[in-house]
Amino acid sequence: MSNCGCSHTTGGGPFAQGRELVEFVAAAHGGEMRTKPISGGGLATLCQGCGAPFTLATYVGACPVCGGVHAVSPPRSSDAANIQFAGKGFTLS
C-alpha cells in the first residue's frame, strides 16, 4: 500500500486506478475529500459506466444518469483523463 504523504495509509494511494482509487479518495482525510469541491468548478467528463456527460464537481461524485461512482485524487485533478470509475454496481458506504 502506498499513501498520499499525509500520514494515513487508506487504500492504494492517489495514483491507484479504478475502484481502488475511488475507495482511497472517499476515505481520505476522514472522508472529507468526498465532498470537497474541485477547484475551477470541476471536471467535465463522460460517465465511464453509461457514457452520459456530467461534471465531477467534487473529488468523489456520481453520474446523475446511472449513479456510477467516479473520483479523482487532488494531485491529479487538473485533467479529466485522470478520473477513475469504481465499476458498475459500486456504491459508497
Q: Please state the pTM of the whole predicted model.
A: 0.87
Q: Residues 14-25: what's their mean pLDDT?
A: 96
Pair 15, 26: CB distance under 8 Å: no
In this predicted structure, the answer to whether residue 15 has a pLDDT above a threshold of 50 is yes
Q: Where are the domains of the chain?
A: 18-85
Q: What is the pLDDT of residue 3?
A: 44
Over residues 66-79, the pLDDT tens digits come to 999 999 999 999 99
Of 49, 56, 87, nearest in space to 72 by CA:
56
Query: Given this model, what pLDDT does residue 12 score?
Result: 83
E-only strand ranges, the chain: 43-46, 53-56, 60-62, 69-71, 84-85
